[in-house]
């Protein structure tokens, strides 16, 4: 299965990842001090939902399309509003035609003092990323391997920020590499927020990641998983997980509101637990 961003733009996994990322960015903005966003596997940054990749596997219809069509009230509506507003801003005509990848979404939450470093190694995606971010002082697109970037850009000059790690999971050892990289990155920047995405195609890899993180010395490690019952077809992503290290203190309570709503929209189930709570 190919987990590259263009094939899953706006799909259920993107919605879950971006809903959580947005809440983290909202909390970072709550304090005046500058923060940094580091996106290690950024992709192109912006996706045409009518383009060849999105139409080849139109997961956005089961993802952001379902969410926009759903009835959302009360606290869930308020918590999802920043994310949905950012998507709407890219579709001023009201018709959903463009979806933001993580770097473009993160850019919409930056203030003048905040910074974004978006990393991509695949040539076509890297060129598109540079174009989509443009030239401005707050953002920087870098052609670099995401795993190398974790070592090169940590710790950042700012004391606050979030690192998004969202690899394509095309190599057979990607989960093992992910665990090693996360442990090393947390040693370099123990106070940073880390948001790690992974597919849950099978339990062995995801459970192995959780087991290793439990054995590590990393405190404050939250795990979130959600499955998508309407995507049980072969070659469709049936679920995903997120590991949030050093989550903002309000985030777990917020996710107790948001996750059941997303599970209902995607006709699936969800779980949330702590892999580590020390520190």
The whole-angstrom separation of Cα 204 and Cα 38 is: 28
Domains of the chain, by residue range, sit at 5-276
What's the confidence (pLDDT) of residue 195? 98
The whole-angstrom separation of Cα 81 and Cα 106 is: 15
Residue ranges of the alpha helices (H) in the chain? 5-8, 12-29, 52-56, 64-69, 74-89, 102-107, 123-133, 146-152, 174-188, 203-215, 251-265
Domain 5-276 of CATH type 3.90.550.10: no
pTM: 0.94
Task: Check 14, 62, 114, 166 and give the catalytic one.
Answer: 166
Distance set, CA 45 to CA 16, 35, 100, 124, 157 (Å): 17, 20, 6, 12, 24
What's the confidence (pLDDT) of residue 237? 73
What's the confidence (pLDDT) of residue 10? 94
Residue 223, token pair as written in the block: 């795990």
pLDDT tens for the chain, residues 1 to 279: 444 566 779 999 999 999 999 999 999 999 999 999 999 999 999 999 987 766 666 789 999 999 999 999 899 999 999 999 999 999 998 889 999 999 999 999 999 999 999 999 999 999 999 999 999 999 999 999 999 999 999 999 999 999 999 998 888 888 999 999 999 999 999 999 999 999 987 788 899 999 999 998 899 999 999 998 755 555 567 899 999 999 999 999 999 999 999 999 998 899 999 998 865
The verdict on whether 145 is a catalytic residue reads no
Half-sphere exposure of 79 (CA within 13 A, CB side): 25
What's the confidence (pLDDT) of residue 279? 52
């Amino acid at each position: 299965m190919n987990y590259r961003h263009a094939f899953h733009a706006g799909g259920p996994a993107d919605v879950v990842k971006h809903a959580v990322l947005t809440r983290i960015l909202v909390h970072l903005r709550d304090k005046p001090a500058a923060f940094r966003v580091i996106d290690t596997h950024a992709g192109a940054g912006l996706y045409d939902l009518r383009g060849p990749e999105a139409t080849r596997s139109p997961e956005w219809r089961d993802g952001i399309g379902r969410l926009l069509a759903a009835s959302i009230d009360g606290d869930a509506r308020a918590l999802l509003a920043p994310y949905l507003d950012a998507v709407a801003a890219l579709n001023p005509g009201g018709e959903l035609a463009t979806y933001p990848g993580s770097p473009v979404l993160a850019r919409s939450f930056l203030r003048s003092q905040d910074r974004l470093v978006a990393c991509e190694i695949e040539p076509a995606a890297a060129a598109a990323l540079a174009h989509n971010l443009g030239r401005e002082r707050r953002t920087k697109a870098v052609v670099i391997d995401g795993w190398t970037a974790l070592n090169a850009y940590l710790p950042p000059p700012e004391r606050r920020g979030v690192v998004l790690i969202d690899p394509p999971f095309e190599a057979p050892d990607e989960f093992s590499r992910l665990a090693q990289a996360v442990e090393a990155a947390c040693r370099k920047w123990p106070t940073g927020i880390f948001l790690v995405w992974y597919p849950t195609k099978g339990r062995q890899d995801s459970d192995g990641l959780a087991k290793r993180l439990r054995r590590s010395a990393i405190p404050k490690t939250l795990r979130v998983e959600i499955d998508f019952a309407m995507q049980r077809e072969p070659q469709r992503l049936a679920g995903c997980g997120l590991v949030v290290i050093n989550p903002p203190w309000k985030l777990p309570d917020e996710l107790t509101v948001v996750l059941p709503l997303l599970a209902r929209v995607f006709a699936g189930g969800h779980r949330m637990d702590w892999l580590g709570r020390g520190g």
